[in-house]
Structure formats: structure tokens, C-alpha cells
Amino acid sequence: MKHPIRALTFDLDDTLWPFAPIGERIEQALHAWFCEHSPRTAERFPITEMRALRERVFAEFPEHAHDLGLLRRLTIERALRESGDDPALASAAYAIFFQERNRVEFYPDALPALQRISARWPIAALTNGNADLAVIGIASLFQFQLGAREYGAPKPDAGLFHEACRRLGFAPGEVMHVGDHPHMDMAGAAHAGLQTCWIDRGDHAWPDGLPRPDLQVSTLTELADWLESTQYSGSLE
């Protein structure tokens, strides 16, 4: 490592918890809500059709790629409108989405490791998604949460990483970013000058030709062990 690690930033989805089960629950819960409160929308847009509509809306509004919550709300409004239902129902439907979005099941290693790491280093959450750490209940472990929506651009934009470093009060080279995505997390952080830790939970193969991360782990427990051992030994090799 080039410099001692003074702080860390963490991706959220597929780093602290798997996103796939959340996505499935969101689809099921929204469809159940539409069946009860907007049956025409439920009939016109069953889960597979709603998924296709969401993809179309996302493609239609690339300028909002950093704000997934807005895109989700636009999708709900479009579904209601095209079904002949009242778009004003979107607020109640979005509340169902938000509730399910923040029902997470942590990887077994995540919380114990975060508690160990945050006890010795300041940590921040850096995400393209719309999870709310206060609602989830772990905001107290983090100095802050910085999302693509608040910043105005998603990872791998270097500015998002630089803003996180600025708020942490350390130079990029003194901050390590931890995440699962080779391009969004690792390449983005490396380009911004941060040190990188790839957590390989088996979701992504490392792309050919992409420079390797500074550190690779399969659990956050390994990261906590590594951080503590380098602190005790005084070595970052």
C-alpha cells in the first residue's frame, strides 16, 4: 500500500447485503399493493411487464441515472397513468417500495466487521442506490452516507469519491474504498486516487485487462483482520 489507511468508504448493495432478494421483495410487494389499491394497474402491469416498463423509463431518462428513486417513482406514475388509474396513488405505492428497499439481510460477516472497523477508522457509505442507513439502523457506524442522487453523478465518477474524501478530511490516497463491482467501485476509486479493496462475493468475475485492486477479500472479516494486523505491525505491505 502507498499510504497508511486513515479512513474507508463502503459500497452498500452486494457489499454489505445482497440486493437480489430485495429486488424480488419489492416487485412482489408492489404487485400486491396494486392488486388491492389499483387492480387495473396490476392487471396491465404484472411483475414481468412492470420490470420491462421500468427498464424503458430508465432508458428514457438517462439524465436521471444518478437518482434511482426518482426513476422508480416515474415508473410507478407511468404505470398508473397508462392503466387509467390516478397517478396521485404513486406516493402510497412509492412508500411500499421504500419500505421494502430498506429491509435488508446482511451478509453474516458484515455487521461484526463494520463494528470492528468503525471503532478504529472513520467510515462512510458511498452508493449509487437509494438505501437509507438511518431507516436500516446502522447510520451510527458511519460518518455520513453520500449517494449519487445527492452528489448529482453516480460511481464511477471520480468527483463522487473526491467529495467523500473531502468530507472525511483525508487525501484520496489515504482512503480505501471497499466494494464489489470491478468497474463502478474498483476502477472508479482507483481512477480517483483512492486505495481499493475488492470484496469478491462471487457475483462478478474480474475483467481481463482491468488493473487489479490493492486488496482482495471474500468477506469483510478478512478486511477487518487485515486492517488490524497492519495497524499492529506498522506495515502496509
Out of 1-5, 74-78, 87-91, least confident range? 1-5
Q: Tell whether the model's pLDDT for residue 171 goes beyond 70.
A: yes
Contacts of 236 (CB under 8 A, 6+ apart): 1, 3, 4, 5, 230
CATH 3.40.50.1000 residue ranges in the chain? 7-17+104-233
Identify any residues that bridge with 195 across adjacent strands, giving them in sequence order: 176
Q: Tell whether the model's pLDDT for residue 233 goes beyond 90.
A: no
Angle between helices 47-60 and 20-37 (to 10 degrees): 110
For all residues of the chain together, what is the average pLDDT? 94
Q: Tell whether the model's pLDDT for residue 236 goes beyond 70.
A: no
**Residue-level pLDDT at 65:** 87
Q: How many C-beta neighbours within 10 Å does residue 102 have?
A: 16
202: left (phi over 0), alpha (psi -120 to 50) or beta: left
Which grid cell is 195?
Answer: 486505495
Which grid cell is 132?
Answer: 437509507
User: What digits encode the pLDDT tens for the residues 195-222?
Assistant: 999 999 988 889 999 999 999 999 999 9
User: What digits encode the pLDDT tens for the residues 114-132?
Assistant: 999 999 999 999 999 999 9
User: What digits encode the pLDDT tens for the residues 179-193?
Assistant: 999 999 999 999 999
Tell me yes or no: is domain 7-17+104-233 CATH 3.40.50.1000.
yes
Q: Tell whether the model's pLDDT for residue 159 goes beyond 60.
A: yes
Q: Tell whether the model's pLDDT for residue 237 goes beyond 60.
A: no
Q: Which residue has the higher pLDDT, 39 or 204?
A: 39
Q: How many C-beta neighbours within 10 Å does residue 140 have?
A: 8
**Residue-level pLDDT at 55:** 95
Fold annotation for 20-101:
Four Helix Bundle (Hemerythrin (Met), subunit A) (1.20.120)
CATH 1.20.120.1600 residue ranges in the chain? 20-101
Which grid cell is 155?
Answer: 460511481
| pLDDT band, residue 231 (cuts 50/70/90) | low
Which grid cell is 199?
Answer: 470484496
